[in-house]
Amino acid sequence: MTIETQAPPSPLRRRNFGKNHAYYLRRDDGTEVKLDGVTTLLSNGIPKPALVNWAGNVTAEYAVDNWEDLALLAPSARLKVLKGAKDADRDAAAGRGTEVHALAEKLIAGEEVPVPEELAGHVESCVRFLDTGKIRPILTETSVWHRRALYAGTLDMVFTSDLLPGRVILGDWKTNRSGIYPEVALQLAAYANADYYVGPDGADHEMAGLKITDHWAIWLRADGFSIYPMATSQEAYRTFQYAATVARRTGIKTPDGRYPLDAYKGEEFFFSEAAA
């Protein structure tokens, strides 16, 4: 007689807070520790000088396009609107990406979905990718985590293709206007090197068991899609680890609202104190 035992549930919990989310790991003693998100670590650990120019350009473009409306506002209100122009542009792009990701997950599962008119092109590109590549999904929108490195994230998709026998591909959808950035390789490396993924059964499963061979960034646009193979090397993963260290030292605040780097600065020194 064979007795089947059910695997215990994963100690990882993803909690959603409006448009944001966070990951928590339950310890053996019942307490929880917050894990750093992969994309948060990369956002805070990789310099992005182009963002400075982007913010200035977006603000200038908004001012030119809305000149007459801005002229009707009081100076303080005008300043507030202009300060928020870059945030509105960023949030709109992020919202579009979130919607496309959600629709893609349903399309991969074979569901029929109503598509907002403004996203029709992106969704058609997603369908074309799935059909053209003869894609067979293994996992979609799946949480992964690393016990020792204390990070977590959500991968978009692990799949195979009838056109590429023997290969298991970790894929990430991108919908931004500017295309694929090299640091996506670090994001995918972090996912692939995680210890566990949380399966549909709610239990942990070893990432190594997926035997991933390729990392792809898939750029979905209104007019089509592009596939960019990304590095799968341990060097890419080490670079993620370096970026994570920089982020944790300089870009992520501790619970008391300070940056760890602040500890390297001493209190102000006065010669009068030395003489006392």
What CATH code is carried by the domain that includes residue 167? 3.40.1350.10
Identify the band that residue 102 occupies on the pLDDT scale cut at 50, 70 and 90. confident
pLDDT of residue 145: 98
CA torsion angle for 42, 45, 46, 50 (degrees, to 10)? 100
Q: Tell me, what's the pLDDT at 158?
A: 98
- Average pLDDT for 25-37: 93
In a domain, 99, yes or no: yes
Residue 213 lies in a domain: yes
CA separation (Å) from 189 to 7, 53, 145, 149, 162? 27, 28, 12, 13, 24
- Quote the pLDDT of residue 63: 78
Q: Is residue 191 part of a domain?
A: yes
Eight-state DSSP code of residue 201: T
Look up the domain containing 69 and give its range. 12-250
pLDDT of 100 = 78
Distance from the Cα of residue 245 to its chain's centroid: 17
Task: Write down the pLDDT at residue 276.
Answer: 59
First to last CA, the chain: 84
Cβ(217)–Cβ(155) under 8 Å?
no
Residue 229 within a domain: yes
- What is the model's pLDDT at position 86? 65
Considering the entire predicted model, what is its pTM?
0.82
- In angstroms, the CA 207 to CA 230 distance is 18
Assess if residue 125 is contained within a domain. yes
Ranges of beta strands (E only) in 27-149 are 32-37, 135-146
Q: What pLDDT score was predicted for residue 66?
A: 83
DSSP state of 7: P
User: In which residue are the tokens 């000088």 written?
Assistant: 49
Q: How far apart are CA 121 and CA 127, in angstroms?
A: 10
**pLDDT score recorded for residue 264:** 86
In this predicted structure, the answer to whether residue 50 has a pLDDT above a threshold of 80 is no
Domain membership flag for residue 49: yes
Average pLDDT over residues 80-97: 66
pLDDT tens digits, one per residue of 145-197:
999 999 999 999 999 999 999 999 999 999 988 889 999 999 999 999 999 99
Per DSSP bridges, beta strands 135-146 and 196-198 are antiparallel
Who wins on pLDDT, 165 or 112?
Answer: 165
Q: How many distinct structural domains can be found in the chain?
A: 1
Whether residue 47 lies inside any domain: the answer is yes
Cα 76 from Cα 253, distance rounded (Å)? 31
User: Alpha-carbon distance 178 to 101, whole Å?
Assistant: 17
270 occurs within a structural domain: no
